[in-house]
Amino acid sequence: MTLIVTARERKSQMLLFFYFGVAILCLATRTPEIKHNLNVDNGTYGVLISLGAIGAVGAFMFVGQLTHRIGVGPVLIVSATLMFGPIAVMPHIHRAVLYVIANIVLGAGFNGYNIAVHDQALKRQLLSGEKSLPRFHGAWSLGTLLTTILSIAITSHVSLAWHVDLLMGVLWIGTMVAIFRMRPFLIKGSTDSSENAVLKVKDTLAMLTSDRYVAIAYVCGVMVEFSTNDWVTLSSHQEIRASTTLSIVPYLIFMVGMIIGRLGIHRLLLIKPDTYWIRISARVGGSGFVIFLLLAKYFSGHSFELAFTCEILGFFIGGLGGSFFSGILTQIASQRSSFPGGVVVAQLGLVIAFLTFLVKLVISWVAQTTSITYGLMIPGALMIALSFFKKLGPVQARV
């Protein structure tokens, strides 16, 4: 019997993704202030950001198994607290070592929440037959858009600490309410002891040898998004000398592109299969991202208006092109695997955490020794490379 998803469940699930988006990227729009508080250069700042992967690895090693054994609800409550707490603390940090500690805890909370909320979405999607994950990712993107607009409106009027502390308190309460409303629909822990015995830490490591192909494809597809979150405001502020408020605008336009793609991809999937749109979007999105950012750097010494316009176009095309990769590739990974959805997300995330850590270090080094623009050429090139992956698809045997 096919599960019928109620409006209450769908709305609550959307809110869990929406609050997630508002919270996790509220600092991305105020990166120059965080960097100023720490008093570090671009290379050091990039390394400090990358070290959050330590917490991510811990989450990926154990949270997939926890969601399967004790259920999604408890994991969501704990991980949400571990996510909102460090974000609220970061505006008050002025020492790099404390920032690293907070970033590691944030990495664990962020990825624990990510695994749990995706486990819930994937299992309910399987039971209902709906392809709802890209829409949930769209709700996440709407959250990031809201937090960006909020930052543009208040950056010149409200301190970083007041902005973040108040927002995190409101979001934590909203998330707890959404989890409470989701109680009748949350996936419960497994009571089958023999099934639990199969799920061990080594199962999380399985993708290191079993399905690296999808994991590498995923990294190629999402590095533009990850790198934009880390560097977009600094790029606008330092490379083309935009004001603190204006430097947020390219990120706003980037998220608009992400939202358009994520909320509209289900219509395109009725025309052509997902692998077709992955190939086309990777080529167009990656090429547009690279070309317009290079033009922005070229015009930065001649015309601010032209440079700023090219910066906006580059991030918009990159956001639109890469908008649905994470949702589609997560679905593909889940359909190619025999493990539960939360474990698959953890498996995928563990490989991604390791690979993105390496890529982010390279981007940081290039940004420090040359410029942020040249560092961002790396994720653009990786997105183009995704178009050459030929073996993606849910019906393929694991490679």
pTM reported for the whole predicted model:
0.75
pLDDT per position as a tens digit, 355-386? 888 899 999 999 999 999 999 999 999 999 99
Mean pLDDT of 281-293: 96
Distance CA 92, CA 161 (A): 7
Within 8 A by CB and 6+ apart from 113, the residues are 20, 76, 79, 80, 83
Locate all alpha helices (DSSP H) within the chain, ordered by sequence: 7-24, 31-38, 42-50, 53-70, 72-89, 96-128, 133-154, 160-181, 193-198, 201-204, 207-210, 212-239, 249-268, 274-299, 304-321, 325-336, 341-369, 372-386
Distance CA 226, CA 356 (A): 9
Report whether pLDDT(395) > 50: no
The answer to whether the CB of 378 falls within 8 A of the CB of 222 is no
Q: Which two tokens stand for residue 192?
A: 């089958």
Q: How far is CA 126 from the centre of its chain?
A: 23
The model's confidence at residue 399, banded by pLDDT at 50, 70 and 90, is very low
The answer to whether the CB of 81 falls within 8 A of the CB of 217 is no
Report whether pLDDT(288) > 70: yes
Report whether pLDDT(116) > 80: yes
> Per mean pLDDT, which range of 128-142, 172-186, 316-330 is the poorest?
128-142
Distance CA 312, CA 251 (A): 8
pLDDT per position as a tens digit, 149-160? 888 888 778 888
> Per mean pLDDT, which range of 15-19, 83-87, 189-193 is the poorest?
189-193
pLDDT per position as a tens digit, 168-179? 999 999 999 999
The answer to whether the CB of 321 falls within 8 A of the CB of 261 is yes
Return the amino acid letter for 168: M
The answer to whether the CB of 360 falls within 8 A of the CB of 230 is yes
Q: How far is the CA of 371 from the CAs of 39, 125, 243, 364, 376, in angstroms?
A: 18, 43, 18, 9, 9
The model's confidence at residue 195, banded by pLDDT at 50, 70 and 90, is very low
Distance CA 255, CA 76 (A): 25
The answer to whether the CB of 23 falls within 8 A of the CB of 87 is yes
pLDDT per position as a tens digit, 84-112? 999 999 999 999 999 999 999 999 999 89
Report whether pLDDT(398) > 80: no
Domains detected in the chain = 10-188+201-386 (1.20.1250.20)
Mean pLDDT of 195-214: 55
pLDDT per position as a tens digit, 233-270? 899 988 998 887 888 899 889 989 988 888 788 788 88
Report whether pLDDT(134) > 60: yes
Q: What pLDDT does residue 197 have?
A: 39
Report whether pLDDT(335) > 80: no
DSSP assignment, residue 388? Answer: T
Q: How many CA atoms lie within 13 A of 33 on its CB side?
A: 22
Average pLDDT, the chain: 84
Q: How many CA atoms lie within 13 A of 291 on its CB side?
A: 10
